[in-house]
Each structure stands twice: as C-alpha cells, then as structure tokens.
Homo-oligomer: A and B are copies of this chain.
C-alpha cells in the first residue's frame, strides 16, 4: 500500500448561501483546492454528501459536481456514510491512490441545507438514524442525542454546566476562522441560559447546520515530496473505519462509542502512535455530549470522564488535547456531508502552520474523526507533517 499525502486544501465559508446552489458551492471548493495544490489534472472526484437526494433532488452527485467544476469526463462517485460521509469519501479516495488506480484524487465534501424549511431538514437528518426503530417512532436526531446525554449525565453524575467548556472553546476558536459560521464568543452564563432544544441539549450544545464545501487533493507521498514548496509535507499516517449499530438501544453499551474506539485504536496501531502523540484532534462535536464521548473513545479520557479535560482547561490550542481548533462542528458549522473534509482541511492547516490565532504550537501529528449517525459509522485519519 503506497503512502499518500494531502497536496492542498480548499473550502468555502459555512453559512446560509442562498445565492449559491449545491453544485456551485462544491465547485468553488474544488477550484480552491486545485489552485492551492497547483495540479493540472486529477483522475477521480470523490464527493462526500448525505442529503442531495432529499434536499436537492439530485443523485449521481459526483458527476453533477464534476460538470460544474470543469471536470467533465472524470471518474466521479458520491460516498454516503450519513454525517460521516466526508471522512468516508476521503478514505475511498485514499484507497484509490494507494492502490495505484489513481495518481491524483480530489475529495470534496458538500452539503446544501438552508434552502429548505427547518422541519424538512430535521426530517432529512433523521435518516441517519434507524428508519425501522428510531425515526419511525418520531425521534429526531437531536432527541436521540438528548437521550444519550441524559443517560450519560445520570450514569456519571455530570451537571449540564460541566459541558460548557466544549462550546466555549469551539466558539472562541471560530472567531479566528474566516470560514466558520458562528464567529461570536460565548460565555458560561450564555451557555447555561441558552434556549432548550431537547432536554438537556440546548441551543449552545448543538452544532448549526449550514451550506458549505471543503476539499483536499490526495497524491502519492513521493509526488508531494518532489514539490519544492514552503509547506511541510503532510502524509496520511492512518486511515481506518468501523461501524456500530445505528440504533442506540441496540449497542452493547449505550454510553460508549465502540466504533469510534475501534477506529481510533486501529488508527493508532496503523500509525505506530498513541493518544499522547496526537497534537491536535478534530472530533465530531455535533453535540457537546458527542465531544465528551469522542474524547473517551479516542483514548484521551477515562470512561465517563469526557468533560474533565475541558474543565481542566486542556482543550484549547495550548492545552494538552486541542480540539475544535477552528471552531469544530459546534461553531465552524456542520454541513453534514462536508464536515469530515473540513476536519481534514483544518488538521492540515494546523500541521503546516496556517492556523493563525488558534495555531497549536509545533503541531506535527493530528487526528480527525468523522462520525455518521450517533456513532454508527466512524472514519479516523491521522495526518503527519514531515
């Protein structure tokens, strides 16, 4: 399996882009990555997307985006692992380049969510849950996560206020990211007083949806190394995936993200690293409960101790485990199928020293974990700067 590197990145701001269609947003990110990576051709386009069928009446999205991006003729597919689609598209592209089937692959994650009424979007998002046993009963996706958070708080005795650092850190970091959707800092008081969505999840526990696209270019590492640029070379030291039951009632342990743990453990083994070696961790903080559980699953906190690192002030850019360094899902925003690619773009920025005011000092190794559903499909990548 030949080694693969990320040659460049591209992204659009996450927001409500009513003046741009799905394919226009995706093409903007593709054009940005082509310019950043300075490539003049690519062999494949891998699109990470969840909702184009439901919200945009469009399937065969790979081809649809290829046409708009000036890539007609290119091999193009869409990969769907719900909210983990971005990570899954990267992994599919990685295998294409690693297998030598392709010499350069463009990955673009894209979602267009704000053209439709909120209830329609909520109805679309819950297709990431189990259609037979969860959504069929009227559960929304936030309701499922609220049940998880209730159970977690009950089992481990955390009050709601102890989750505040996740949201405060995400918003603080997003201020400095021009691509983030929510760039206003928030206080502990605001967090405690935010409008309830599904008890105990309030508005500041939940990530906002949005329109957005992010892209990377993958090439063989040896090709990247031949470039004589200013940037360090960023290789993919590990790429893994695992799954769990979609329905949370069907898990062996509701309060453990088993697939996230398995995927992370395999990634550490593949890269020959431990959690201590990770300088920056872009996790899937769709809700603050997911941030807590992800930290545990990835080996950064003991079982039930997810909120501890935040309370100890260790999740900021200068902390022991910097997370959501560009705003995370919480404040950069969560255009679901695009999110996994935004995470890789942001880890890349950290490793090449382009993270500005939220730069993690001397970051050499970073991890991104893309999660579909409430921990059902998990894709983990570890990137390393040379």
Report which A residues bind B (CB closer than 8 A). 1, 21, 23, 44, 50-51, 53-54, 56-64, 66-67, 71-82, 84, 88, 91-92, 94-96, 98-101, 124, 126-128, 130-132, 135, 239-246, 250, 258-259, 262, 372-373, 376-377
Contact A243 B76 (CB under 8 A): yes
Q: How far is the CA of A196 from the CA of B98 in the complex (A)?
A: 50
Residues of B with C-beta under 8 A to A95: 92, 95-96, 99, 101
Q: Give the CA-CA distance A67 to B245 in the complex, in Å.
A: 6
A74: chain B residues within 8 A (beta carbon)? 242-243
Q: Is the interface of A mostly helix, strand, loop or mixed?
A: mixed
Question: Knowing that A63-B376, A64-B130, A71-B243 are A-B contacts, what are 9 other residue pairs whose CB atoms are under 8 Å apart, sorted by A's residue number?
Answer: A57-B131, A62-B81, A63-B246, A72-B245, A74-B243, A75-B240, A75-B241, A77-B88, A78-B80
Contacts A75-B241, A95-B96, A243-B73: A81 and B53 contacting too (C-beta < 8 A)? no
Indicate if the CB atoms of B100 and A1 lie closer than 8 Å: yes
Q: How far is the CB of A26 from chain B (nearest CB, A)?
A: 13
Q: A63 to B244, Cβ gap below 8 A?
A: yes
Q: How far is the CB of A144 from chain B (nearest CB, A)?
A: 13
Q: How far is the CA of A91 from the CA of B73 in the complex (A)?
A: 17
Taking the closest CB of chain B, its distance from the CB of A48, in whole angstroms, is 10
Residue pairs across A and B with Cβ atoms less than 8 A apart, 16 shown, are A23-B132, A44-B241, A51-B53, A53-B124, A56-B131, A59-B128, A60-B128, A63-B82, A63-B244, A63-B246, A64-B131, A73-B259, A75-B242, A94-B101, A95-B96, A95-B99
Chain B residue nearest to A88 in the complex (CB): B77
Q: Are A127 and B57 in contact (CB under 8 A)?
A: yes
> Is A81 touching B60 in the complex (CB atoms < 8 A)?
yes
Of the candidates B92, B240, B250, B258, the one whose C-beta lies within 8 Å of that of A92 is B92
Contact A60 B96 (CB under 8 A): no
Q: What residue in chain B is nearest A81 (Cβ atoms)?
A: B77
A99–B77 Cα gap in the complex (Å)? 18
Q: Judge whether A84 and B56 touch: CB under 8 Å.
A: no
